[in-house]
C-alpha cells in the first residue's frame, strides 16, 4: 500500500508546538535511487552516488533554455511556461545544490507549469553552463545569494516563490535574510540549518583534496578520469546520463567547486536569523530517507521557523528526482495557498 506524504501546517510563530493538523498527499511512483554498488574507492563511489542525477534530459515542450542577464553576470536557466491559458499564478525560482544544475528540476517543470505559473530553474554562477564569478571570494552563500536576488528581480512578473535545494538552501536563505528582494514564499528542500556532516562532508572534502592547489579545468578532468569515471559507469546510469554527468562536472568552475565545498562544510546555523522573516510563508520539504541532513534536524528547523513541513515517502536527498509528481503537487498547493493569504504582495 502506498504511503502518503506527511504535511504539517505551521504552528503560529511565538507559540508552543502541539496539536499540529496533518494533511496527506497522494503519492506518485517513487523512482529507484539508481545508486551503484560499493567500489574499491569508497569516496569516489559516494561522490557519484550523492550527486543529484536527473532521470532524463529531454526538455518538455513547455520548457526552453535561456540566459538571464543580471548586473552581477549571466546565469543559465531553464524556463517552463504554461502550455495554454497563460500564467495565472506568480512565478517560481528554483536553485540547485552543490555539483547540481538546473537539469535536476527537469522532472518537476512541466507539472509545476501546468498549474498555471512560470517556473525558472538555474545554474548558480560557476555551475555547469553559468559563467564563473570574476572574484572567487564571492563563492560564498552571501555572495551567491546576492546573485539569486538579482535573478529574482529579472522575473518581472512580480514577487516570486523561491526554492533552494541542499546547498542551494544555504545560499537562498541569505537572499531571504538580506530582505532586498520581494518574495511570496520560501522553500528549503532537503537543506539543513548549518554545515553538512557525515559521509557527504567527507565526500565534499575528498573532492577538494583531489583538486588540490591546482584548481584548473585540466586538473578537474584528471580528477574525473582517475576517480569518477569508473564509479559513474559502474553505477548503471544510462550512457546519455553518464555523458551529461561528465560534461556537467567538467564545466564547473574549479575554484567555485572548492569555495562552495568550503562553505558547505563550514556554514553556521542561521535558523534564528531566518526566523526573523516571520511574515514570509515558509516550507521545509525533504525525503523521509534523506542522508545529507538528518530528517529530525530538518523537522526541528521547520519547527523553529514556524514553517509548513512536507516529508516525501520513499525519497532521499533529491525528492525532485526521486518523487517528482508528489513533490510538484506539494509545492503547487503551498504556492497557491500562500497567494491567497491576505497582505502578501501579489
φ, ψ (nearest 5 deg) of residue 279:
-80, -15
Q: What is the reported pTM?
A: 0.88
Averaged pLDDT of the chain: 87
- pLDDT value for 257: 95
Exposure of 245 by Cβ count < 10 A (0-12 exposed, 13-18 middle, 19+ buried)?
A: buried
* pLDDT tens track for 265-278: 999 999 999 999 99
In the prediction, which pLDDT does 2 show?
46
Look at residue 298 and tell me whether its pLDDT is greater than 80. yes
Contacts of 111 (CB under 8 A, 6+ apart): 324, 325, 328, 329, 332
In this structure, the number of other CB atoms found within 10 A of the CB of residue 284 comes to 27
What pLDDT score was predicted for residue 342? 81
Higher per-residue pLDDT: 17 or 180: 180
Tens of pLDDT, residue by residue over 2-55, are: 455 767 765 444 443 333 333 323 333 222 222 222 223 445 545 555 578 899
Q: From the CB of residue 55, how many other CB atoms can be counted at a distance below 10 Å?
A: 15
**What pLDDT score does 44 carry?**
52
Per-residue pLDDT, 194? 98
The 10s digit of each residue's pLDDT in 209-262 is 999 888 999 999 999 999 899 988 888 899 999 999 999 999 999 999 999 999
* Better pLDDT: 160 or 3: 160
Taken in order of first residue, the domains within the chain and their CATH numbers are: 5-10+19-339 (3.40.50.1820)
Amino acid at each position: 500500500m502506498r504511503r502518503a506524504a506527511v504535511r504539517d501546517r505551521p504552528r503560529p510563530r511565538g507559540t508552543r508546538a502541539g496539536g499540529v493538523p496533518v494533511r496527506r498527499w497522494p503519492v506518485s511512483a517513487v523512482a529507484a535511487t539508481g545508486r551503484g554498488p560499493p567500489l574499491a574507492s569508497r569516496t569516489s563511489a559516494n561522490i557519484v552516488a550523492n550527486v543529484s542525477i536527473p532521470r532524463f534530459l529531454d526538455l518538455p515542450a513547455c520548457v526552453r533554455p535561456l540566459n538571464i542577464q543580471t548586473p552581477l553576470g549571466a546565469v543559465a536557466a531553464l524556463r517552463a511556461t504554461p502550455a495554454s491559458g497563460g500564467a495565472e499564478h506568480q512565478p517560481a525560482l528554483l536553485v540547485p545544490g552543490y555539483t547540481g544544475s538546473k537539469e535536476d528540476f527537469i522532472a518537476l517543470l512541466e507539472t509545476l507549469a501546468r498549474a498555471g505559473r512560470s517556473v525558472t530553474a538555474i545554474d548558480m554562477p560557476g555551475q555547469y553552463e553559468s559563467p564563473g564569478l570574476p572574484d572567487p571570494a564571492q563563492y560564498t552563500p552571501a555572495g551567491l545569494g546576492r546573485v539569486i536576488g538579482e535573478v529574482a528581480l529579472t522575473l518581472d512578473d512580480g514577487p516570486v516563490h523561491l526554492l533552494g535545494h541542499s546547498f542551494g538552501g544555504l545560499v537562498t536563505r541569505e537572499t531571504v535574510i538580506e530582505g532586498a528582494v520581494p518574495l511570496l514564499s520560501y522553500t528549503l528542500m532537503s537543506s539543513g540549518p548549518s554545515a553538512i556532516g557525515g559521509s557527504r562532508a567527507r565526500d565534499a572534502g575528498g573532492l577538494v583534496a583531489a583538486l588540490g592547489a591546482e584548481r584548473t579545468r585540466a586538473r578537474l578532468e584528471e580528477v574525473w578520469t582517475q576517480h569518477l569515471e569508473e564509479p559513474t559507469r559502474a553505477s548503471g546510469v544510462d550512457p546519455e546520463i553518464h555523458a551529461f554527468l561528465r560534461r556537467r562536472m567538467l564545466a564547473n568552475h574549479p575554484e567555485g567547486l572548492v569555495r562552495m565545498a568550503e562553505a558547505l562544510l563550514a556554514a553556521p546555523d542561521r535558523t534564528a536569523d531566518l526566523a526573523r522573516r516571520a511574515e514570509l510563508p515558509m516550507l521545509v520539504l525533504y525525503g523521509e530517507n534523506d542522508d545529507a541532513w538528518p530528517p529530525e534536524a530538518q523537522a526541528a528547523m521547520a519547527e523553529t521557523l514556524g514553517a509548513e513541513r512536507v516529508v516525501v515517502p520513499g525519497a532521499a536527498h533529491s525528492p525532485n528526482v526521486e518523487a517528482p509528481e508528489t513533490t510538484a503537487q506539494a509545492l503547487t498547493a503551498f504556492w497557491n495557498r500562500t497567494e491567497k493569504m491576505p497582505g502578501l504582495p501579489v
